[in-house]
Structure formats: C-alpha cells, structure tokens
C-alpha cells in the first residue's frame, strides 16, 4: 500500500469501509469466528466418527466395564465440542464483545484438548496398566499447547481432531498398541480434517477477496474524497481521545498556515472559535468535546491573537465509539462559508446602506430609530432627530446633469459624516433628503449649534467636475419623547419642523412645536376642502382693472381667484394657493381659471385684455400650450386679448425647456407678462431671452415711493427705462393712494393696477365698466398718504389651536397687523390663528411672515374703515409693513 493510501485510511472510516488498525484486527478475528461457526459441525462429526470406530472395536473384545469407560471418554470431547459450537453461535448472534468471545474460546479449546486425555489414558491403561496415564495426560497437554501456539481461534477450530489425528498414532507406536484399531479411528478423522481444512480455506479465500474488494472500494472512495477536498467547498477532520487533530484536510490546514496558525496536533478548540451571533450557538465546541456529543453546522472562524485573513467555516462532528464501547475521538466534516458570508454581508449592505453615498438608507434609519426608542434604559435617554432637505439641489441636476448631482450628494454625505462624527447616525432617505439620529441628546442649544454647523458646512462651495456649486440646507428637529415616543410620530414632527424651516426662507433650522401640527392639520383640512370646492364649483373669478396712465382708460382686467367657503366664508388666496401647489391641485384649479377667464372675457362688451396668472408648476407642464389653445378655441377669444402673467420662479427650471415653452406660447399669439418683477430671483438675463410684452413692478416698490427720501421711485424709474429700451410695457401694482397715480405717471409707467381704481369685482361690474362707463373709471379712496397703518404699542392675544398667547401689537392696518412676543413654537407660516384685542370677538387670520422676532398676521377679511381697532392714535409716521 502506498503512503498516500495509508494517509487516507482514516478517511475510509467516514464511509464505513475500514477502521483504524485495532478495528482491522477486530474485524479479522470476527471473520475467523464466523468461519469457526460455519465449520464447527465438521468438528462434531469428527468426534462422532472417532467415537464410533473406537467403540466398535471395543465391542469385539473389551469387557463391559472397559466399554463404559471408553464410551464416557469418547463422549467428553464430543460434549465439549457441542457446547463450544452453541456458545460461540450464541455469542456472535448476541454481538458480545470480542474479548469475551476470545476468552471463552481459549477456555473451551483447553477443555476440549484435555478431554482427549481420558481416552488416551484408558487406551494406554488397557495395554500398559496405570503406568500409561501420565504419558497420556502429557500428550493431551502437548496437543493443546501446540494448537494454542498457532492461535486461540485456530486451536478451537482444530481442537480434538488435531490431537486425535496426529498425536494418537504417535502414542500407539510409543506404547506398542495395535495400530489397526488406532488407524481405523484416525483415517476418518483425517479425512474429515482435510474436508474441514478445505472448507476453512474456501471461507478464508472468500473473506480475503471480500476484504480486497472492500479495500479497492476504499481506495476509490479515497480518490473521490481527495477530489472533493481539492476542488469542492467541503473538508474533513478527525481528533483523538484528547481532542487533538489527527487529520485535517490540506486546504484548511493551508488557510490556517497562511494566517500563521499551525494545525498539526493542536486541540480543535484551540484552532476554531464559534460565531456567537449565529443561531443555535448556545453550546460551545468545548462543551461538545467534553460531553462527547454530536454537533451540526456550527459557524466558526480561526482563533488568533493578531489580525488574520477573515475566513469562516461551518463544521459538524460526532464521537467515534468502537465495537467494545470505547471512545476513540471525534470525526467530522466542514464547508467554507467565507464567500457565503461575504455575499450575505453585501446583501445586508445593499439592504441597509445607500448605494450612492454609503450612508445608512431609509430602512436602516427606521430600524435604528425604532431600536433606540424602544430601549429599556432607566432613566429614559432622549433622542433627537434631524430631517434635512438640500436647497437649490434641483438646479444643479437640471443645469449640470444627474451625474454631477450624484457627485454632489457624495460630497454632502462626507461633510455630514465629518460634522456629526460619532455623535449620531447619518442616513440618506432618497433624493436630496437626509436624516440624522442623535441618541442621548435633548439640549436645544447644543442641537441648534450642531444644526447651524451643518448648515454652514453644507453651504461652502463644492467643486463638481470643475464647476463651483453652492447649495444650502434646511433642517427640522424633533426630540423624543416629548415630540413623539414612536418613530412614526417623531419623523412626522421633524418633517413639520423642516416644513417650517423652508417656509421661513430656507437655510435655517426649526424645532418642532405643537402649533406646527395644528398648522399641518389645518393645511390637511384645507386640502380636503379644496377637493370639495373643485368638485362643487365653489370658486369664482374677480377682476381688477388695469388702467392706462396716458388716458385713464381701462385696457384690461386681471382675473383673480376667489373662494367662498360654505362655513368659513371668503378665504384669501394667500392661504389656499400654497396648499394647492403642495398637494398638486394647482394644475386642476389653474385649468379651470384659464377656461373660465377666456369664456367670460369673450362676452365682455369691449375687447379689453384679460390677464391670467400661471404658476411655475403649471408652466413646467409640457401640455400648457395645448391647454391655452384649447381654452381660446372653445371660448372664441382673440389670442391677443389673453395675457399670461408668469413669475420669475419659472426660470429655476431647465432654461432650454423654458425657452421652448415661451416659444410655444408666443406662437399662439398670446401676450406674456413678467409678474412681481424686482423680487425673488430677478435677473436681467431673463429679460434678454424671454419674450415678455410687459413687466409688472411689484407693489413693494410702489408703496412708500412718494415718501421723502424713499429710493423706491428711483428703482421704478430704472425698471421703466429698462422696459422701454426692450420695447415692453410696465404696470405698477398695488397703487392705493391717489397721490401715487401722478408719481407713477411721471416715472413713465404705462399702466396702473390697485385699489385706487377699485377692489376686484365680479363679471357684472366688468360689464358695467366696459359698457356703461365705456372703460373710464375714476380713482377712489384716500387722496393722500393718510396713515393706512398706524404705529402703536398695545397688548393683544393670539389664539393658536387651544393655546392663548399674550403679544404686543406694533403696527395695525385694515388688512393685518405686526405683533411681537409670539413664541417661535407657534410661528408657522400659513397657520391659521385668531387675533383678539381686549374683550372683542377675535378675528380670523393667518401667519404670513416672521422676521427677527416679529410676526406679520394677515386678516382673513379686511377691517372696515370704521372698525374700532383702527380708531387708535396716530404717531404721525407711516410705518407700513407687509402683513
């Protein structure tokens, strides 16, 4: 057998073909015992034949006494042979331990050999008297010793036949006994012994062939196992009684050696340690090795003091017990789990981490937040949650492309990680939304400082593909448990804080306050009411005249949307239009306005123009030109009479798309007006490319223009000069004082729009102005700038939800007021509030702006001129504020 085959012999034990050397010896003895059982009837037949010959000759001349003695002497070995055969068969059948069978055979073979002694003694005594008994007994002992020297099992096999066939003739010749009667017994015994030997040889040959076949199968199995070990993921191991490795597949041994770990002769528990996080690992390898119990599919890795190559295996093992019940060690198998665990880790990473930035994704942030909020630590640890939106990120995507946007998000992620560090967990929820989880922090000053640091860090310029990009971010903050004890509530409240931050001009942070939730609920109720209003036709249009400064002739009307709520009455567009834009209803409402304005304008008695506002959301829709064309076709309105008022916010979108949209609208023949010029995102570049027919100067420049020292007049003049140069008309919005008409005319504006020529009116009033008055209307209202708003200092109360907050009034007008002292928690732009002075009935309003601790509240319905609130002493100074 080759050395390679010898090395593989322990492996054959795995498939039950061969055992170790002791087991081979046990198997050999068991085969001999089985052979003995099969040939034992021949031994009994030998005894019977010998006894028959001897007794046959004794009948011819021996006395009756001698005949009885010889019969007893012949029956003794026969009885022993029968007992041996029955006992051996019974022992093998009951699977008695081998050492017991060998002891039994040794005793039986001794007894059987000694049993031939009386027969030889009787024969010798018959011829030589008592002197022959010693020689006969010595011959019997010599017979057994000779047989026992061969093998205890072989001694039992030959037994009586060996002694009788070979020693009896020698004794007869030595004692002068007649040879004939001895030969008569010897010849049959010899013949049966030959038959028995042939049969034993046949059985031994068959056994040898079987063993050779088994060994050949074992070699084949060794080759297959070697191939499996070499190219498969599985491997094998074996230990001795002390748990030291006696065999380990080469590839595993090489992996351990590459990590500086020698495996030869080492304890299994010194080489491998279990993965405590794996399921079913309550019991250790040491436990199973000590208790000698089986184990299956345990995940282990190499034990090492220093850094090693991370490899993982799954191992199984069972104890080895030999046929006599002795523990021989452990044997088992294993498989490589390294790639599987890497794949699982990658799957986990993809499931819990954002693929673009490497930050935690929405699922991991949700799991981490749930785990943090469900902690059982006493006292309860607070948890803060930041919800963030990037400001002006969409502009980067639209101008530089999505790859640049991805690079920007990656840089934002790195900056967030640097600022937050180990204090919290940073995650990306998707798009430009980020979230930061901060366990154990509830100090508002510390959170505010961190938020400001984040805003400052993200506001620094970025280098994106050679382009300098600047963005910002807005942050909403909620703190558990006071702002929510579960993740859903906390996220919602942080989102409300973010909404407030964006409503306050972006680039700031806001903590959640209960008033925000009330504002959100108010917006939700308004959204539901808007859907009902659209379905039930609760909207109507009011028209405000646009008057020429040259001849005071009405040249057109601006269509203004109005909503009469069935229970709340008239609701200002400043309240419901932002809500409609957020919930996606502005397109549906805008379409209704477009069709209604065109239809009603077509019925006017004089061909005046009608102006319709187009939101930036509407303008971004590709089907807007088709909608306008359809409205014109259905109403029959001349396209030149339709003027679309567009705000500067449309230029934040893709410039190429904007240019295509402008070209498509101008191709219809409609007029385009740039609304609210001078605020927000004003840029002369827009005027250079966009085909506007008119510029509408925002009312913030008109108001106060007649005051001494005001710069508004100079700004209006500059805008008018620019418009004239570009061939555009100009309309001054928000003119309320008759004295302002002359100033606007002197500054060169071509048109005026404002309360000075009346408030927006219905369709019947438009027909009256264009029909009865032939388009000529006279200014109304105050002739000069008479305190439209008084600067005062008076105590009042603001009602927000169920809360009543004491504040101070600074400015008051018929449309609104400015207050001080309203806590930031209740300052939510757009939130509905009540306003009460003294014991009067509170008026409905909403928060419109907040600056430096001062809050502007607009009344839902303007106060009449004779309202007692307006009868307050004047300071003599006009302090107009936009409420």
Cα of first residue to Cα of last residue in the chain, in angstroms, is: 104
Residue given tokens 């396209």 in the structure block:
639
Round to whole Å and give the CA distance between 838 and 115.
136
Between 130 and 8, the more confident residue is 130
Mean pLDDT, range 27-52, rounded to an integer: 62
Query: Does residue 270 register a pLDDT over 50?
Result: yes
pLDDT of residue 11: 36
pLDDT of residue 159: 47
Cβ–Cβ < 8 Å for 389, 502? yes
Q: Report which listed range, 102-111, 131-140, 277-286, is most confident.
A: 277-286
Mean pLDDT, range 7-33, rounded to an integer: 44
Average pLDDT, the chain: 77
Between 380 and 538, the more confident residue is 538
> pLDDT tens across 717-747, in order?
988 998 898 889 999 998 888 888 888 998 9
> pLDDT tens across 747-764, in order?
999 999 998 898 899 999
Residue given tokens 């294993």 in the structure block:
334
Burial class (CB in 10 A: 0-12, 13-18, 19+), 403: exposed
Q: What are the residue ranges of helices labelled H in 232-337?
A: 250-258, 268-271, 285-291
**Out of 65-74, 288-297, 554-563, 669-678, least confident range:** 65-74
pLDDT of residue 682: 52
Question: In the numeric block, which tokens belong to residue 404?
Answer: 């640049």
pLDDT of residue 277: 61
| Dihedral, 799, 805, 809, 812 alpha carbons, nearest 10 | -10
Q: Find out whether the peptide bond into 614 is cis, omega within 30 degrees of 0.
A: no
Q: Calculate ∠ Cα 781-783-788, nearest 5°.
A: 65
Query: Does residue 140 register a pLDDT over 60?
Result: no
Mean pLDDT, range 209-214, rounded to an integer: 68
Q: Which residues pair with 425 in a beta bridge?
A: 437
Confidence label for 625 from pLDDT (cuts 50, 70 and 90): very high
Mean pLDDT, range 299-317, rounded to an integer: 73
Q: Find out whether the peptide bond into 481 is cis, omega within 30 degrees of 0.
A: yes
Mean pLDDT, range 820-836, rounded to an integer: 83
**Out of 176-185, 306-315, 516-525, least confident range:** 176-185
Between 563 and 132, the more confident residue is 563
Between 251 and 595, the more confident residue is 595
Confidence label for 628 from pLDDT (cuts 50, 70 and 90): very high
Q: What is the DSSP string of 608-626?
A: -EEEEEE-HHHHTSTTHHH
Cβ–Cβ < 8 Å for 764, 772? no
Mean pLDDT, range 702-706, rounded to an integer: 78
Round to whole Å and give the CA distance between 162 and 168.
10
Confidence label for 53 from pLDDT (cuts 50, 70 and 90): low
Q: What is the pTM of this model?
A: 0.52
Mean pLDDT, range 590-594, rounded to an integer: 94
Residue given tokens 């919930």 in the structure block:
583
Query: Does residue 368 register a pLDDT over 60?
Result: yes
Round to whole Å and give the CA distance between 244 and 626.
85
Counting residues of the chain whose pLDDT is more than 90, the rounded percentage is: 24
Between 338 and 202, the more confident residue is 338
Query: Does residue 530 register a pLDDT over 70?
Result: yes
Burial class (CB in 10 A: 0-12, 13-18, 19+), 55: middle
> pLDDT tens across 838-870, in order?
767 788 888 888 877 788 888 888 877 667 676
Q: What is the DSSP string of 136-180?
A: HHHHHHHHHHHHHHH-HHHHHHHHHHHIIIIIHHHHHHHHT--HH
Between 462 and 829, the more confident residue is 462
Query: Does residue 531 register a pLDDT over 90?
Result: yes
Round to whole Å and give the CA distance between 427 and 416.
9
Q: What is the DSSP string of 491-517?
A: HHHHHHHHHHHHHTTSS-EEE--HHHH
Closest CA to 558 of 754, 742, 781, 767: 754
């Amino acid at each position: 057998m080759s050395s390679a085959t010898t090395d593989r012999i322990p492996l054959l034990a795995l498939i039950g073909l061969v055992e170790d050397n002791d087991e081979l010896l046990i198997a050999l003895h068991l085969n001999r015992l089985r052979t003995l059982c099969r040939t034992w009837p021949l031994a009994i037949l030998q005894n019977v034949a010998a006894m028959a010959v001897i007794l046959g000759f004794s009948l011819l001349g021996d006395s009756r006494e001698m005949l009885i003695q010889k019969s007893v002497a012949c029956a003794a070995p026969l009885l022993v042979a029968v007992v041996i055969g029955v006992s051996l068969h019974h022992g093998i059948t009951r699977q008695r331990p081998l050492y017991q069978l060998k002891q039994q055979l040794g005793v039986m073979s001794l007894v059987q050999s000694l049993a031939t002694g009386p027969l030889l003694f009787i024969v010798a005594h018959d011829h030589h008297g008592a002197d022959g008994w010693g020689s006969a007994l010595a011959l019997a002992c010599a017979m057994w010793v000779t047989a026992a020297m061969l093998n205890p099992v072989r001694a039992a096999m030959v037994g009586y036949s060996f002694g009788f066939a070979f020693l009896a003739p020698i004794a007869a010749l030595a004692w002068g006994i007649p040879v004939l009667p001895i030969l008569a017994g010897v010849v049959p015994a010899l013949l049966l012994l030959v038959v028995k030997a042939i049969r034993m040889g046949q059985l031994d040959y068959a056994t040898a062939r079987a063993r050779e076949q088994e060994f050949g199968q074992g070699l084949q199995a060794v080759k297959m196992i070697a191939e499996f070990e070499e190219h498969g993921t599985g491997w094998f191991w074996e230990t001795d009684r002390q748990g030291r490795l006696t065999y380990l597949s080469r590839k595993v041994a090489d992996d351990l050696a590459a990590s500086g770990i020698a495996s030869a002769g080492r304890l299994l528990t010194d080489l491998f340690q279990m993965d405590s996080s794996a399921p079913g690992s309550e019991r250790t390898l040491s436990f199973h090795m000590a208790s000698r119990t089986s184990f299956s599919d345990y995940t282990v890795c190499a034990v090492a003091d220093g850094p090693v190559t991370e490899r993982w295996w799954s191992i199984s093992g069972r104890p080895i017990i030999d046929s006599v019940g002795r523990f021989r060690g452990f044997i088992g198998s294993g498989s490589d789990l390294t790639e599987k665990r890497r794949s699982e880790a990658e799957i986990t990473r993809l499931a819990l981490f954002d693929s673009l930035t490497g930050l935690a994704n929405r699922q991991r942030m949700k799991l981490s937040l749930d785990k943090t909020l469900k902690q059982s630590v006493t006292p309860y640890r607070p948890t803060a949650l930041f919800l963030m939106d990037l400001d002006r990120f969409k502009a980067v995507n639209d101008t530089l492309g999505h790859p640049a946007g991805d690079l920007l998000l990656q840089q934002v992620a790195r900056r967030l990680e640097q600022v937050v560090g180990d204090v919290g967990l940073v995650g990306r929820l998707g798009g430009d939304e980020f979230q930061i989880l901060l366990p154990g922090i509830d100090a508002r000053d510390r959170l505010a400082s961190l938020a400001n640091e984040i805003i400052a860090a993200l506001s620094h310029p970025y280098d994106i593909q050679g382009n300098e990009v600047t963005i910002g971010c807005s942050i909403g903050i909620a703190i558990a448990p006071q702002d929510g004890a579960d993740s859903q509530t906390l996220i919602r409240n942080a989102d409300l804080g973010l909404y407030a931050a964006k409503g306050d001009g972006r680039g700031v942070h806001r903590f959640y306050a209960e008033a925000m939730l009330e504002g959100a609920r108010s917006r939700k109720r308004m959204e539901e009411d808007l859907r009902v209003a659209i379905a039930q036709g609760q909207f109507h249009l009011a028209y405000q005249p646009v008057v020429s400064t040259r001849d005071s002739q009405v040249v057109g009307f601006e269509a203004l949307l109005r909503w009469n709520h069935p229970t709340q009455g008239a609701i200002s567009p400043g309240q419901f239009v932002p809500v409609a834009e957020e919930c996606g209803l502005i397109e549906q409402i805008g379409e209704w306005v477009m069709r209604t304005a065109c239809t009603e304008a077509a019925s006017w008695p004089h061909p005046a123009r009608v102006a319709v506002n187009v939101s930036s959301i509407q303008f971004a829709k590709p089907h807007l030109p088709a909608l306008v064309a359809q409205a014109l076709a259905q109403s029959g309105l001349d396209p030149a009479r339709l003027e679309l008022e567009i705000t500067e916010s449309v230029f934040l979108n893709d410039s190429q798309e904007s240019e295509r949209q402008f070209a498509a609208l101008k191709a219809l023949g409609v007029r385009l007006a740039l609304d609210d010029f001078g605020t927000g995102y004003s840029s002369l570049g827009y005027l250079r490319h966009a085909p506007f027919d008119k510029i509408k100067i925002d009312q913030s420049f008109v108001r106060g223009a007649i005051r001494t020292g005001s710069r508004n007049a100079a700004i209006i003049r500059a805008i008018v000069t620019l418009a004239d140069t570009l061939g555009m008309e100009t309309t001054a919005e928000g003119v309320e004082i008759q004295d302002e008409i002359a100033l606007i005319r002197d500054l060169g504006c071509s048109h005026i729009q404002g309360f000075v020529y009346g408030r927006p009116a219905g369709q019947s009033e438009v027909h009256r102005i264009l029909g009865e008055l032939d388009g000529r209307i006279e200014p109304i209202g105050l002739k000069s700038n008479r305190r439209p708003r008084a600067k005062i200092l008076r105590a009042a109360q603001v009602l927000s939800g169920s809360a009543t907050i004491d504040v101070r009034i600074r400015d008051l007008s018929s449309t609104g007021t400015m207050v001080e002292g309203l806590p930031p928690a209740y300052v939510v732009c757009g939130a509905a509030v009540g306003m009460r002075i003294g014991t009067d009935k509170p008026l409905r309003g909403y928060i419109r702006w907040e600056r430096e601790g001062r809050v502007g509240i607009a009344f839902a319905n303007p106060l009449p001129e004779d309202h007692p609130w307006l009868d307050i002493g004047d300071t003599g100074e006009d302090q107009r504020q936009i409420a």
